[in-house]
Amino acid sequence: MPRKVFDGVDYDDGYDDDYDYDDLDDADYYGKAQPSEPVKETIKRGTWSCPICTYDNDESMTACDICGVFRNPLPHMNNNHDKKTATAKTSDSSSAKTQWSKTNNVEDNNHVKDGVLRLQANNKASASSSISKESIPSMESSSKLSTGNEQLGDQVSGASSRRNRMGEGTPSVEEIRPQSHNRGMSKSDLPSKSRAPYKPEKWMLPEKEGSDLNQLNLAIVGHVDSGKSTLSGRLLHLLGRISQKQMHKYEKEAKIQGKGSFAYAWALDESPEERERGITMTVGVAYFDTKNYHVVVLDSPGHKDFIPNMISGATQADAAILVIDASIGSFEAGVDPTKGQTREHAQLIRSFGVDQLIVAINKMDVVEYSKERYDTIKQKLGAFLRLCGFKDLSVLWIPLSAMENQNLVSASSDARLRSWYQGPHLLDAIDSLQPPTRDISKPVVMPVCDVVKSQSTGQVSAIGKLASGALRSGSKVLVMPSGDVGTVRSLERDSRPCTVARAGDNVSVVLHGVEETNIMSGDVLCHPEFPVPTAKHVELKVLVLDGSAPIVIGSQLEFHVHHAKEAARVVKIISLLDPKTGKASKKTPRCLVAKQSAILEVVLNGSVCAEEYSNCKALGRVSLRSLGRTVAVGVITRLIED
Ligand code: GTP
Ligand code: MG
């Protein structure tokens, strides 16, 4: 979503990206950090005060943790760089700074390229290269594909390219080259876990109950071409987040490219490749306010090759809109167990803990707003959603047309629809969702979905949603599994600087003291005294999805947990579970087939941050994929130490 749309009410300057990530930073910061006249810092007991920013640094630091100024004079200390203690890493900001300036070769903030915050699981180049011609009929030639890839490759930052632990859309486990196992710290290297129970500080708690709108992370999911981006773009336009002038620009440009019907989708599909192909490839993030919520829209790609990106966005969702194309044949294609994405998306979001769902039955204009068609879809899909674990009362069904603006933010004006539907419109349905609960009283945990390095300042930012706890400028954070300890230099929410971020907030965290090489998508920021566990061997409770090939001991799978992915092997199938009671029904079955629930063990190629679901939902929900499809979803029931 164009971030600029939310930065102010003046949309008149068209679509040029007026958002500058570096606006947050004092451009001279590091320049000032090397004063020609040496300034002596004040030394308190156990700390030294930075002469520039007055931050009280720990005695062990050789440079200021906030602004990077060298301590003057340098204390006589034994700085053993090989010893990967968190303190030593934190204190090594000088070398980090030098490295930043040397490797200053990446696009600033490519994730907000063209003003859109993009969430992607892996590098786009590998993603696009995995698309076959058959899978996107609109693609004209493979040379076009490779051109697109090159363009995309250019956009990938250093951080992003390092993120390619697993070729997106490349299902072969052999191709997976995880890097995480080389980066993880041994247990003895980690800061010692606090024995004292965690107690949140006062600033972490919201000042006044009800003072701010509740944030609602709303994933827009569904089969390819069902109209997710068009619906999102339409909503943003209707709610004044996209100006009339801007909309005209989209319409004109889309028409010139022969893609007139995609004008609203262009608000979310910003890259030339997405526009040319008419498909969403990475998750677009947009914001709008309703009566009750500050809604963060996560517009997911529907194409099967971009499911890893969809997962990356959907793991952050509190609720979801499942968009269905009502046209004859299209709904059926979407729910096809082997080729459609409707079922897979529904199962994935349920496995990520989303239990409130709005089913937007879109393109009702194509079926003349037929009640019969609506009822058929509701009946067929409703039965499946029940199987996924959605309760009838938590599913809202809204017939609408994004293209003809029917039933989006006001009651339908079309007599055909009005004659049989008097229920809520989409905006009302969003407002009627239950507010999500937030774990503010627990230590901070933030799975990192993207890492961006600023070209001009070299600052490293981690982007993600806080699963629990709170952060503010100056907070110390531990990066797991690398073990780096850094300091939050600044925070940004919805493209704007903010002072505090709490559980549920999607933020960009500018870090100080963390080396770019020691943080990547799939890592987790946490409280230094409450490090999140890492695991390589886990016990899972899973449900095998429709249409999946049997899972046997030795099956090679892709293991997805929050934004982390690793190659995994099934090493034990412990028991089948009775679907009604959830109790073990058969011990050590030879294989698992579709619709079966079971307890099994998998061993990963490398360690990932993970936790038992009962302790931390965000780090305990998993999906297993193979050959480009999700074969099972579930939760971690045990971390196994080998
Ligand atoms: P992916 O992100 O690639 O999965 O597609 P999407 O679900 O975002 O679909 P998108 O918004 O790109 O729309 C696909 C096509 O459906 C476009 O040509 C839209 O104009 C069309 N479309 C979307 N909504 C409607 C609708 O309500 N009625 C009609 N007739 N067409 C629609
Ligand atoms: Mg789309």
Q: How far is CA 432 from CA 225, 239, 409, 414, 417, in A?
A: 27, 17, 13, 24, 22
- Mutational pocket test of ligand 1: of 234, 261, 406, the residue with most ligand atoms within 8 Å of the beta carbon: 261
Is 50 exceeded by the pLDDT of residue 333?
A: yes
259 lines ligand 1 (CB under 6 A): no
pLDDT in tens, 565-585: 999 999 999 999 987 787 899
pLDDT in tens, 238-278: 999 999 999 999 999 999 989 999 999 999 998 899 999 99
The rounded Å distance from CA 268 to ligand 1 centre is 12
510 lines ligand 1 (CB under 6 A): no
Tokens of 262: 């995609």
Ligand nearest to the CA of 250: 1
User: For residue 239, which of 281, 278, 293 has the smallest C-alpha distance?
Assistant: 293
Strand partners, 42: 49
Is 50 exceeded by the pLDDT of residue 7?
A: no
Q: Which domains does the chain have, with CATH numbers?
A: 214-432 (3.40.50.300), 445-526 (2.40.30.10), 534-640 (2.40.30.10)
363 lines ligand 1 (CB under 6 A): yes
Ligand nearest to the CA of 277: 1
Burial grade of 628 (CB within 10 A; 0-12, 13-18, 19 or more): middle
Rounded Cα distance between 333 and 278, Å, is 18
Report the pLDDT averaged over residues 546-568: 92
Report the pLDDT averaged over residues 128-150: 29
pLDDT in tens, 33-61: 333 333 344 444 566 665 554 556 666 66
Which ligand 1 atom is the nearest neighbour of the CA of 341? Answer: 4
Is 80 exceeded by the pLDDT of residue 231?
A: yes
Rounded Cα distance between 289 and 218, Å, is 12
DSSP 51-77: TTT--EEETT-SB-TTT-PBPSSPP--
pLDDT in tens, 152-202: 222 323 333 333 322 333 233 333 333 344 455 555 555 555 567 888 888
Percent of the chain clearing pLDDT 70 (strictly above): 69
277 lines ligand 1 (CB under 6 A): no
List strands edge to edge, sheet with 283-289: 117-119, 283-289, 293-299, 214-221, 319-325, 357-362, 395-399
282 lines ligand 1 (CB under 6 A): no
Is 80 exceeded by the pLDDT of residue 377?
A: yes
Report the pLDDT averaged over residues 113-128: 38
pLDDT in tens, 404-421: 999 999 999 999 999 999
Is 90 exceeded by the pLDDT of residue 591?
A: yes
Residue 359 pLDDT: 98
Residue 578 pLDDT: 87
Residue 455 pLDDT: 85
Q: What is the mean pLDDT of the chain?
A: 76
Residue 233 pLDDT: 96
Residue 440 pLDDT: 86
The rounded Å distance from CA 227 to ligand 2 centre is 7
Strand partners, 488: 511
Contact (CB, 8 A) for 97 and 494: no
Tokens of 589: 């079955």
Which ligand 1 atom is the nearest neighbour of the CA of 401? Answer: 27
> Residue 534: left (phi > 0), alpha (psi -120 to 50), or beta?
beta
pLDDT in tens, 297-307: 999 999 988 98
Which ligand 1 atom is the nearest neighbour of the CA of 264? Answer: 11
402 lines ligand 1 (CB under 6 A): yes
Residue 49 pLDDT: 66
State whether residue 339 is helix, strand or coil. Answer: coil
Contact (CB, 8 A) for 565 and 165: yes
Report the pLDDT averaged over residues 603-620: 95
